Amino acid sequence: MGSGVRVWVPATTANLGSGFDCLGAALDFGNRFDFVLRAGGDPVITRGATLTGENLAYRAFALVYERLGQPVPPVTLTLALEVPMARGLGSSATAIVAGLRAAHYFLGEPIPAAQLLAWGVALEGHPDNVVPAWWGGCRLTCGDQVCAIAWHPDIVPVLAIPEFALSTAQARAVLPSQVPYRDAVANLGALGCLLQGLQQGSPELLRAGLRDWLHQPYRRRLIPGYDRVEQAALATGAYGMVISGAGPTLLALTHRTQAQEVAAAMVQAWQEVGVQAVGRVAQVRQEGAQVMALQNGCDGLE
């Protein structure tokens, strides 16, 4: 394999309300990671956009070599990041998938994709971002089973991305260790409605399916203005509003003809409580991570 590889990985939105930790969808924007092997020097040199905290892309890259009993080569890692960090849009999943795919490419792709993906899920801690980032589309994961979920073309994800961050650790810390039996049963019913609603484009099923009893009642308290933004989204035609991943980005699902209006209303509602935000009308991307060889400074498809 060549001495350089570019991996582009899509952003993801996870949970979608009742699909806590098992449902996610790839979106039409993402992060780019260029890995170039070096003859020696520091283990990793990072260029371009800044990664704060642990460099998950390099950690995932090194993991593959270590699991296969191979020495980890020095690399230069150049980043172009479009997915904001700590906003509930799968930025850590993009880094993990990129590192895994780059190492697999350099090693000649010696192991099945399912094994590589399992390592990524273990590194992330849950599959709802990593799986759609890898495969694309909307995906439901149960253990080692991954199911593609049909997404009706009239249903559009609308994002309101605030200026403030919220770490996954913070969002996990507020969750209870146990929930009432009735809440678990209610979530099972809601998830069934959500999956059918996404497939059929049914407003009634989506309104029922976007309800959640496992994580949103606890996490919404961490997001100032949540109720006001939700009211604005519903008033302009959204079928429901949920927290994207661990938040604080808020996600509304609506008909494509209402998407721009819903996005503007959500941003305006946040501004009214002193929070600056960016609205984004997204699309579900059916393709997952893309790998391209970098040869002699020229890009070419792998």
What are the helix (H) ranges across the chain? 56-67, 91-106, 113-124, 127-135, 168-173, 181-200, 203-209, 216-219, 226-235, 259-271
Pair (257, 179) in one structural domain: yes
**How many domains are contained in the chain?**
2
Pair (115, 234) in one structural domain: no
Band of residue 193 on the pLDDT scale cut at 50, 70, 90: very high
Pair (13, 144) in one structural domain: yes
Pair (175, 272) in one structural domain: yes
Could you identify the residue written with the tokens 């899509």? 10
Band of residue 48 on the pLDDT scale cut at 50, 70, 90: confident
Pair (144, 167) in one structural domain: no
Q: Using one digit for the tens of pLDDT, what is the confidence trace for 234-267? A: 999 999 999 999 999 999 999 999 999 999 999 9
Q: What is the CATH number of the domain that holds 107?
A: 3.30.230.10
Pair (274, 292) in one structural domain: no
Average pLDDT over residues 47-60: 80
Q: What per-residue confidence (pLDDT) applies to 300? A: 38
Pair (49, 119) in one structural domain: yes
Q: Using one digit for the tens of pLDDT, what is the confidence trace for 123-178? A: 999 999 999 999 999 999 999 899 999 999 999 999 999 999 998 899 999 999 99
Q: Using one digit for the tens of pLDDT, what is the confidence trace for 4-25? A: 999 999 999 999 999 999 999 9
What phi, psi does 33 have (nearest 5°)? -130, 120
Band of residue 49 on the pLDDT scale cut at 50, 70, 90: confident
Q: Is the pLDDT of residue 296 over 90?
A: no
Pair (14, 101) in one structural domain: yes
Q: What per-residue confidence (pLDDT) applies to 302? A: 35
3-class DSSP string for 21-36: CCEEEEEEEEEEEEEE
Pair (161, 199) in one structural domain: yes
Pair (195, 96) in one structural domain: no
- Could you list the residue range(s) of the whole structural domain that residue 80 is in? 4-148+285-301
Which element (helix H / strand E) includes 7? strand 4-14
**Amino acid in the structure at residue 207:** R
Pair (90, 59) in one structural domain: yes
Q: What is the CATH number of the domain that holds 250?
A: 3.30.70.890
